Structure 1
Amino acid sequence: MGRRKIDELLLSAFGWVPARVALGVLTFFGFMNQFMVRVNLSVAIVAMVHQNKTVDEVQAQCTAEPQGSNNSNSLVVGTTEYQADALTKIIMQDAPEEKGLAWDEVTQGLVLASYYYGYTVTQVMGGRLAELYGTRFVFGGCILGSGIITLFTPLAARAHAGAAIALRVLLGLTGGVAWPSMHALLARWIPPLERPRFIAFAYFATTLSVTFTLPFCGLIIDWHGWDAAFYVTGGLCLSWCLLWFTLMHDSPSKHPRISREELEHIEMSVAAGGSSKKTGTAIPWRHISTSMPMWAIIVCDMGNTFGLSIYITQLPTYMRNVLGFSIKKNGLLSGLPFLCRYVGGVISSTVGDWLLSRGFLSIVNTRRIFSAIAMLGPTVVLVGVAYSGCDPALAVSLLCLSMFLNGAITTSQLVNHTDIAPNFSGTLFGISNTFASIASFISPLAVAAFIENEQTMSQWQKVFWMCVPIYAASEVFYLVFCSGSVQPWNYAGQHRRHAHDELSGPEATALQ
C-alpha cells in the first residue's frame, strides 16, 4: 500500500483530529522510546553487577540494625523483607556464571556516564540538520539507531566493561540529536503561545518515560533477567519507527491531512513569532556567543541538568542501598518523582500560557517566575531530603515535590530558545544542551566520588547538598540575564519580515 493511499485512509478516519495534535502524539511516544533506552541501564545495573557479600552481610543502612537494638546510631524501618528479596535476586541468579558483572563503583559510574560522552558531541549537529533538512529524518533516525544499539547492549556488557562503555557512547551519539531536532520542528509547527504546552505534553514524555521505564524494567528483570530489559525496550523503538516514517511530515504545508484553517493559523502565528519558512544558511556564531540571553539559557540548563541526571542515574541505587527497597519496589518508587515532574510540567505550562495569552505577564516575566519555581523549589526541598532519615514515605514525598516543582521548566528555560531566535532554535538548543551534557556526565562521577564505596546516609547527604548551590547559582544568573524578545541576529541572512503586524488580538499582544 502506497503512502498516498495510507494518507487517504487516515484522512477519512481521523480527519477531525488537528494535525499538530497528531504530531504531538507521535512525538510523545517517540520521546518515550528514546528515553526508555537511555535510562533502562539505571535499573538494570542494580541486577547486572556482582555483589561480593552474602545476603546477610549486605544491608541497606535503613535496615542495618534490628529493631530494638541498643545502637543509638542505627537507622531502622520495616523494609527488611524488600532488601532480602532484592539481594536474593541479584546474588542468586539462574546459573553460577550469572552472579553478575564484576564492576566496582567507579566502573559503574563510568558506564552510567558514558552515554553523555557521545550525547554531548551531536547536539548542535542535530539541531542544524533538522533546520536544514527536517525533523522527520533526524529524529526518526535517532530512535531507529538507538533501538538497534540497545539490542546489542547485553552482548557488549558480558564481553567487557569497555565494550559496554563504547556502545553507550554510540547510543549517546545517536540520542544527542533528539531534542535539538525537535526544537526545529517546534518553530515550524507550533504557534508560540502553545509551545510550553506542547513541550510539557510531548517533550516531557521523557519524564513520563522514566516513571514508566523504571518499574517496567524492574518487572522484566524480575521475570526474565536483565538482558530482557534491553531487548524489550530496543524492540519498542523499532516498532515506533514504522509509524513515524509513515505519518510524519516536516512542515504544515506538506501535510496532506491538515485543514486550511489550521494551516493558516499555524503559518501566521509562527511568522509573528519570528520564524521564517527558510532558515538562513549562515549561523551568526559571533552574535550567539556574545548574547547574554543565550548564556542565561546555557547556565540554567547546566544547573538543571546536573541535578536531574542525579535523579535519573542514581535514584534506584539510593532507593536500594540506603532506603532498602526491593528491585521491583525500587523501580516503582524511583519512577514516582518523574510522574510528578510530568504533572507539574502540564500544570505549569497551562497556567503560564493562560497568564501570557490574557496579558497578565510578559514573556520575560513568565520565564522568570516559572524558572524560579523550577530551580529554587528543588533547592529548598533537597535540603529536606538530605535530612529525611529513614522515613521512606517522607523521602519519596519530598523527592516527588522537588520534581513536581521542577516541571515548571517547560514554561521557562526549556522554551526560551524559541523566544529569542526561533529560526535557529534547533541550533541554540543543541548549543545549550551540549553544555548541559557536560554536567550530565560529570554528575555520576561526582556522586561516585562522594559515595566512595560507602552507601550510607551521611554520604548521600553530601550528594544532595552538592545540588543545592548548583541549582541556586545557575537560577540567579538566569534571572538576571534572560530575555523574552526576538534577537536581531535571528534574521541573519534574511530580510526581516514584520509578520506580526498582520495579527491582532491577544496573540499579537503577547508576542510583542
Structure 2
Amino acid sequence: MIGNVICAQGQVIVWLLMMFLAYAYMIAVRLHFTYSMMVMMKSPLVAAPHNDHCPGVEINVGINSTIDEKRMDWSLEEQSITMSAYFIGMLFTVFPGGVYANRGYEREIMGLCMFVSAVSVIFCPIAAVQLHSWIAVFVLRFFVGCAFGPVAPCGGTIAGKIIPKSSRALFSTFMFSGTIFGAFSGHLFSGLIIPNTSHSWSFFILGTFAILWSLIWMVMFCKMPYKVLEDASNHSLSVFSTPWKTALQSEAYISLLIASLGFGNLYSFITTGLPIYTARVLGGDAVKNGVNVCQPWLMCWITSIAVGLLSMELIVANRLRKNTVRKLYAGVVLVVCPLMVLSIRLSNCHSSQTKIFIWMAIILLAFERNSIRINSLDLCPKFAGSLIALSDVFFSVGNVLDLFVARNIHVKDFDWNFVFYIATFFPIVCSVPFLLFGTAAQQTHWELVRYRRSSVST
C-alpha cells in the first residue's frame, strides 16, 4: 500500500518535472531569439541611435562572438515585427489549444507543441542565413509562438487532475516557475553558447533538446498513464462544454482576466525591453551580458519557490486567508514591481541604482506564480485548462500591446519615457479589479452547471 502511494507520488513528480522543463525551454527559446537578433543584425535595436545612450557608454553587439554567417541588414521595423511574431502566434492557439486540453487531450497537445517548436527552432538560422528573409524568420517564430500558446493551459489541466488539493498551490507553483527558470537558463545559455560556438549551433542545440523531450514524453504517454484525481474531461470537441457564460459573469474571473492583461504588458517589457534599455545605461558586450542578466532571474526562481512555501505555511496555519495571500502577492507583482520599473527610468544614467532596481523588478515577478497564475486552479480545477487558456489570451494581448503598439509603432521616433510610463501605470490600473473582486474560493456552482447540462443532454 505504502509502495503504491510512493509510486503514485513519483509519477506526479515526473509529469510535473517534464512540464517544468517544457516551460523553461519555451521561455529560453523566446529570450534566445532576442540575443540572436543582436548578433545577426548590422544595426540591431539595442544599438540603434534612438536608444539615446548614456555618455561614455559603448555597446558591442557580438563583436567578440564566433559568428561565421553574414549579418542581416533588416530595418528596425522588420526587426520589431519579427520580435512580435511569437505573441501573435500565441493568440492563434492559446484559447482553442487550452479548451481542447481541458477536454482530455492535454498530453497529445503538449507533445505536438514541443515537436513543432523543435522543428521551427532548428530551421530559424537556415531561414535567416540561407534565405536572408525576415518574413521566413517571422513565420518560424510565429510557429514557435503557436506552439507555446497551449502549454500553460495543458500544464494547468494536468495540475488540476493529478495534484492533491492539499499540495496544489505548492506543486503547481513549482511547475509554472519553469518559465522563470527558463529566463535564467535562456540568458545563461545565450551568453555562453553564442560567443563560444556559433549562432547556428545554438539553435540546433535548443531544437535537439526539444526533440529528446518529445521522445521521452511519448514514452511516458504510452507507458506511464497518470492517476486522475479530478477529471472534467469528456473528450468532446465542443468549445461550449465549458460553462463560459457562468464564468464570464463572475467578477472574480473577469478581474483575473484584466490582471493577466496587465501582467502580460509588464512581463513583456521586463523580458525584452529592459535588456535593451540596460545596454543603454551599462554598455558592454550585449550578447555576453546574458551571463550577468541571468543572475536576478535565478534569484527570481528561488524566490518563487520560497513565496510558494510561505503562502502554504500561512494558509495551513490559518495566519492568513487564501484570498488575502493571493491579493497580497498580486499587489506585489502588479503594483510594487511596476514602481521598480519606473525607478529604473528615474535613476537615469546612474549605473548602480539602475542595477538595483532591475534586480528588484525581476525578483518581484516571482509573486505572480502563486497568485495570478494559479488563481484559475483556485476557482475551478476541473476547468483549469480552459480558464488558463482565456487568461493567457489576455496575457498575450498585453505582450502584444508592449511589443507591437508601445514600441513598434514609435520605432523611428522612439521615446523611452512613453514606454516606461505604459509599463508602469497600465499594470497598476489592471490590478485594481483583482484587488477588489478577486477570490481564491472554489466556484463549485460552475461544476454544477456542467453537471446539469450533461444530465439534460442525456
Q: TM-score, normalised by structure 1?
A: 0.79
Report whether the alignment pairs 1:113 with 2:113.
Answer: no
Asked whether the 8 Å contact 2:128–2:137 carries over to 1, the reply is: yes
2: CA distance, partners of 1:366 / 1:93: 48
Report whether the alignment pairs 1:478 with 2:455.
Answer: no
Residue equivalent to 1:333:
292
Aligned-pair Cα RMSD in Å? 3.0
Report whether the alignment pairs 1:391 with 2:350.
Answer: yes
Quick one: which of 430, 445, 469 aligns to 2:389? 430
Alpha-carbon spacing, 1:366–1:105, altered in 2? closer, same or farther (3 Å):
same
Written as runs of structure 1 = structure 2, the 5 A alignment for 1:442-457 is: 442-445=401-404, 446-450=406-410, 452=412
Residue equivalent to 2:425:
469
Asked whether the 8 Å contact 1:60–1:323 carries over to 2, the reply is: no
The aligned amino acid for 1:88 is I
Quick one: which of 63, 66, 74 aligns to 1:88? 63
SS in 1 for 2:63: helix
Residue equivalent to 1:152:
123
Equivalenced residues, count? 442
| CA shift for structure 1 position 356 | 1.3
SS in 1 for 2:92: coil
The aligned amino acid for 2:311 is G
Task: Identify the range of structure 1 (442-451 vs 431-440) with the bigger mean alpha-carbon deviation.
Answer: 442-451
Quick one: which of 443, 448, 453 aligns to 1:491? 448
| CA shift for structure 1 position 334 | 2.8
Report whether the alignment pairs 1:102 with 2:73.
Answer: yes
Larger Rg: 1
Residue equivalent to 1:18:
10
The aligned amino acid for 2:147 is T
1: CA distance, partners of 2:271 / 2:254: 25
Report whether the alignment pairs 1:129 with 2:100.
Answer: yes
Written as runs of structure 1 = structure 2, the 5 A alignment for 1:391-410 is: 391-410=350-369
Asked whether the 8 Å contact 2:93–2:149 carries over to 1, the reply is: yes
Residue equivalent to 2:456:
none
2: CA distance, partners of 1:61 / 1:214: 24
Residue equivalent to 2:147:
174
| CA shift for structure 1 position 150 | 0.6
2: CA distance, partners of 1:60 / 1:276: 50
The aligned amino acid for 2:407 is V
Task: Identify the range of structure 1 (363-372 vs 486-495) with the bigger mean alpha-carbon deviation.
Answer: 486-495
Task: Identify the range of structure 1 (390-399 vs 181-190) with the bigger mean alpha-carbon deviation.
Answer: 390-399
Alpha-carbon spacing, 1:309–1:250, altered in 2? closer, same or farther (3 Å):
farther
Written as runs of structure 1 = structure 2, the 5 A alignment for 1:351-362 is: 351-362=310-321
Deviations 1:315-358 (A, max 9, x none): 33223344212134421233233223212211111111111122
Alpha-carbon spacing, 1:104–1:195, altered in 2? closer, same or farther (3 Å):
farther
SS in 2 for 1:361: coil
| CA shift for structure 1 position 294 | 1.2
2: CA distance, partners of 1:298 / 1:151: 34
The aligned amino acid for 1:122 is T
1: CA distance, partners of 2:216 / 2:144: 22
Written as runs of structure 1 = structure 2, the 5 A alignment for 1:246-395 is: 246-248=219-221, 254-255=225-226, 267=229, 276=232, 282-395=241-354
| Percent pairwise identity | 20
The aligned amino acid for 2:273 is Q
Deviations 1:25-59 (A, max 9, x none): 2222122222222322111111111139xx9x989
Asked whether the 8 Å contact 2:29–2:206 carries over to 1, the reply is: yes
Asked whether the 8 Å contact 1:122–1:176 carries over to 2, the reply is: yes
Asked whether the 8 Å contact 1:379–1:472 carries over to 2, the reply is: yes
Residue equivalent to 2:24:
32
Residue equivalent to 1:3:
none
1: CA distance, partners of 2:67 / 2:421: 36
Written as runs of structure 1 = structure 2, the 5 A alignment for 1:52-71 is: 64-65=55-56
2: CA distance, partners of 1:437 / 1:277: 26
Gaps of 5+ in 1: 1-10, 66-75, 256-262, 497-512
2: CA distance, partners of 1:375 / 1:319: 21
Report whether the alignment pairs 1:46 with 2:38.
Answer: yes
| CA shift for structure 1 position 246 | 1.7
Alpha-carbon spacing, 1:22–1:473, altered in 2? closer, same or farther (3 Å):
same
Q: TM-score, normalised by structure 2?
A: 0.87
1: CA distance, partners of 2:193 / 2:101: 35
The aligned amino acid for 1:414 is R
Asked whether the 8 Å contact 1:310–1:443 carries over to 2, the reply is: yes
